[in-house]
Amino acid sequence: MNRRRLILFLFLLSGIVIIVMQCTERPPTDVRGTAYAAQETCLQCHGEIANQYVHNAHFRTSSVVSSAKMADSLGLNEGMYVFNSHTKVGIEKKADGIHQIAYINGENKKEEHADLAFGAGITAYTLAYWYDQKLMQLPLNYLTQRKEWVNSPGFPSDQIYFGRAIVTKCLECHSSFVEARKIPTKDLSMEETFVKNSLIVGIDCQRCHGPGAEHVTFHQEHPAVKEAKYMASYHQLSQAQKVDMCGVCHSGSNVQLLDPAFFFKPGDTLRNLPEYTTYTGEDPDVHGKQKQLLQASKCYQLSNLDCSSCHRLHDRVEPSLAVYSQTCQKCHEKVKHPSMDQKALLAAKDNCIDCHMPVKSSKAIGFQRSGSKEMIPYQQRTHRIAVY
């Protein structure tokens, strides 16, 4: 009888403990740690901004491809890429999404499912697949404007390659977080792996605004307070701090941070890093060097211009060239173009950009076309504002 009472007592006690734990459980946190708020909490107060931002290029800079429907939403078409008459890569849609298949003499030698897409799709997508706990790049990229599959930049020009690992440095600018681990290999080198379920795709709110748990807790407890507390204000940052926040990803791959770039916060600066090189008069490549190119511009050097002067960082779509030009004319309203006729002047009034920030070809990367050695250059608008 005593034993039955003891069992009943322990059963009731465990039930009470579970109820107490549920009542006192902290709000869900983020894989980055308790300083970060659960992503959905931003929606409670900033729903309108969030609904716009989910369509923004930063938010869409990486995404999970889990179904054929998702592949369709990215605009990924089926096709066949030809290296030569014996070696081809087929791109095929199946129930779980899109696959790249290595065909040698018509025989399927290797097939991988695209698990992730990198890029916002404005120019291109790079695709990747999970290989155990490693992330590997698929052989082909997709050029969205051309609707064309091309050999990934830097890959062999005459054979199919599935062996390039995607490393933390890539994910630091194409995602908001991933937990990386280093494991030793047989040759005593270190191999990088990831914890799959730790990956936060896209650039989320806290990647740019900093950890938000304290901010969320305060405003949930003090809903009448409308002034943002415990959150960095971009309006109070210096020009250098604002541009450095963008520059952590838009300065190219030569930026080597002492800590992971995931934890670079508003107010941090790149200038304190011995590995970082500021603009010294060279012509930085148009791919990935937006900060250095902007630093080379007199508009930056002689004013308070920063990235947000032109870019609406939460908006669904980028403004038109005419809207960008209106920003230019706030400072350059009285600029004359004596060499231009009246027709050209009228056109230039709504488009300063094509002349003073022209589209240029990258010297660093290009894309090899199917069945050809021809390289399609990667083109991007330069951020060096100048008279060309």
- Burial string for 220-243 (b: 16+ CB within 10 Å, else e) reads eeeeeeeeeeebbeeeebeeebbb
Question: How many domains are contained in the chain?
Answer: 1
Is residue 184 in a domain?
Answer: no
Does residue 319 sit within a domain?
Answer: yes
pLDDT of residue 16: 46
- What token pair was written down for 156? 């062999």
Buried b (16+ CB within 10 A) or exposed e, 283-294: ebbbbbbbbbbb
Q: Which residues pair with 33 in a beta bridge?
A: 30
Q: Are 184 and 194 in contact (CB under 8 A)?
A: no
Q: What angle do CA 149, 121, 47 make, to 5 degrees?
A: 155
The reply to whether 363 falls in a domain is yes
The 3-state DSSP class for residue 5 equals: helix
Tens of pLDDT, residue by residue over 162-211, are 999 999 999 999 999 999 998 887 776 778 999 999 999 999 999 999 99
Instruction: Kindly state the greatest CA–CA separation across the chain.
Output: 105
Query: Which residue in this structure is represented by tokens 């290989």?
Result: 131
Query: Sorting pLDDT into bands at 50, 70 and 90, what band is 24?
Result: very low
The reply to whether 256 falls in a domain is yes
- pLDDT band of residue 5 (cuts 50, 70, 90) is low
Residue-number span of the structural domain to which 305 is assigned: 233-388
* Per-residue confidence (pLDDT) for residue 153, from 0 to 100: 93
Predicted local confidence at residue 364, as pLDDT: 86
With respect to residue 383, please indicate whether it lies within any of the assigned structural domains.
yes
354-368 per-position pLDDT tens digit: 999 999 999 889 999
Assigned domain for 52 exists: no
The half-sphere exposure of 143 on its side-chain side, counting CA atoms within 13 A, is: 20
40: in domain: no
Q: Is residue 289 part of a domain?
A: yes
Query: Got the DSSP string for 235-261?
Result: GGS-HHHHHHHHHTTTT-TT---SS-G
Compute the distance between CA of residue 255 and CA of residue 90 in angstroms, rounded to an integer.
37
Res 229: pLDDT = 94
